[in-house]
Amino acid sequence: MPHTSAHRTRALAITATAALAALAAQTAPGLAAPAPARQTAAAPHALAGTGHSQYSGTVALGTYFNGRLYELHDPNRGGQKTYDARGGTSLGTLFTDTDDVWGTGSVTNRQTSAVDAHYGAATTWDFFKTTFNRRGVRNDGRGVASRVHAGSGSGNAWWSDSCGCISYSDSPDGRPYTSLDVAGHEIAHGVTSATAGLLYSGESGGLNEATSDIFASAIEFFAANPTDVGDYLIGERVTGSALRSLDRPSRDGRSPDYWYSGIGSLDPHYSSGPAVHFFYLLAEGSGAKVINGVTYDSPTHDGSKLLGIGRDAAVRIWYHALTTGMTSSTNYAKARTTTLAAAAALYGTSSPQYAAVGAAWTAVNVR
Ligand SMILES: [Ca+2]
Ligand SMILES: [Ca+2]
Ligand SMILES: [Zn+2]
């Protein structure tokens, strides 16, 4: 995900659109949980399985007993399913199991990556439903399909709108991009496509990437998982350090902390810098801070000292702007006006939240 997400997304869409679209259609929400009266031991029913993940400890999984085997199929979350792609480009084979205990915590067990992916998809579903009453990527009640062991094994993750699916390849170092924040990041690309439709180039491309990092972080805090605590870092469970840092994006050596004219010519993974920095400053404020044991130190372009309004308000403002104000061509200047409009709608123009939005954009040089 971190470097070639959109390109990989398009490549997958071109090579496998028909097959995946046909397969994705089978994941439609028709597979709802049967009536309670039929929930005998032998009849199909929704269950809570146990998963031993690589990055998130032991987790509960939404599973389904089909009368013969347990499936990584979550009837309570839009029928989300997790597949073994077996290195290929088709959807793959639905994971099944005999005792509803999945994975071992070790990547050498084929189910382990599936546990992380299924948990990531479920947590992302729960976050959007609980926080915004959004039911799925397109808000149509349909869950996503997750594909693990996909592609060539180069270590990546990518979203495809055409199949409504997220794919994870294996990684040569045994650390695939299946962590919770990466799952949230990729699935959030689907939400962006279904709402603002931010084009994946120029400044709108940076805002598209930023949206995925913002929700990825919010999802991680929402999960409150003791093994992968909430932070403003992306990919830290995979890489040990982090691919990206929202408090100071320049830590990656590539992303600018502040907007400048011409930033749109950067790869979206880097032109996202000022927007994720804005989000951090809005939520937490400037300067040094320790959250869940992680140390941050967020600078400002104008030397201003900012107080945060909290991540809950910050993410609500971003979501409201994404779903009611931003369009495919929104640039940084428009991101400022649409988030101000969102803060006005949610909290009023005389609110501290409204003032903080303006101050945080100014602090990343979007005036
Ligand atoms: Ca974390
Ligand atoms: Ca993280
Ligand atoms: Zn991305």
Q: What is the pLDDT of residues 164-216, one digit of tens each?
A: 999 999 999 999 999 999 999 999 999 999 999 999 999 999 999 999 999 99
More confident residue, 23 or 92: 92
Ligand 3 center to 63 CA (angstroms): 28
Range of the domain at 188: 5-194
The closest ligand to the CA of 9 turns out to be 3
Burial label for 126, CB within 10 Å (0-12, 13-18, 19+), is middle
Specify whether 271 is located in the same domain as 162.
Answer: no
Specify whether 226 is located in the same domain as 113.
Answer: no
Question: CATH code at 71?
Answer: 3.10.170.10
Question: CATH code at 269?
Answer: 1.10.390.10
The closest ligand to the CA of 192 turns out to be 3
Last residue of a domain, one of 194, 216, 239: 194
Specify whether 147 is located in the same domain as 222.
Answer: no
Last residue of a domain, one of 173, 194, 215: 194
Specify whether 298 is located in the same domain as 258.
Answer: yes
Specify whether 224 is located in the same domain as 335.
Answer: yes
Mean pLDDT of all residues in 136-150: 98
Rounded Cα gap, residues 247 and 274, in angstroms:
10
The closest ligand to the CA of 157 turns out to be 3
Q: What pTM does this model have?
A: 0.89
Strands (E), the chain: 45-52, 58-65, 70-71, 73-74, 80-84, 93-94, 96-97, 101-102, 145-148, 157-160, 165-168, 233-234, 244-245, 287-291, 294-298
Ligand 3 center to 65 CA (angstroms): 34
Specify whether 215 is located in the same domain as 184.
Answer: no
Mean pLDDT of all residues in 263-269: 98
Specify whether 158 is located in the same domain as 288.
Answer: no
Rounded Cα gap, residues 245 and 270, in angstroms:
11
Last residue of a domain, one of 194, 220, 238: 194
Domain count, the chain: 2
Specify whether 138 is located in the same domain as 164.
Answer: yes
Rounded Cα gap, residues 195 and 30, in angstroms:
24
Give the range among 23-27, 120-124, 145-149, 268-272 with minimum mean pLDDT. 23-27
Ligand 1 center to 220 CA (angstroms): 6
Q: What is the pLDDT of residues 60-89, one digit of tens each?
A: 999 999 999 999 999 999 999 999 999 999
Catalytic residues: 186, 269
Specify whether 122 is located in the same domain as 97.
Answer: yes
What is the separation, in whole angstroms, between the first and last Cα of the chain? 31
Mean pLDDT of all residues in 109-136: 98
Specify whether 220 is located in the same domain as 331.
Answer: yes
Determine what percent of the chain is predicted with pLDDT higher than 90.
Answer: 85
The answer for 147, left when phi > 0, alpha when psi is -120 to 50, beta otherwise, is beta
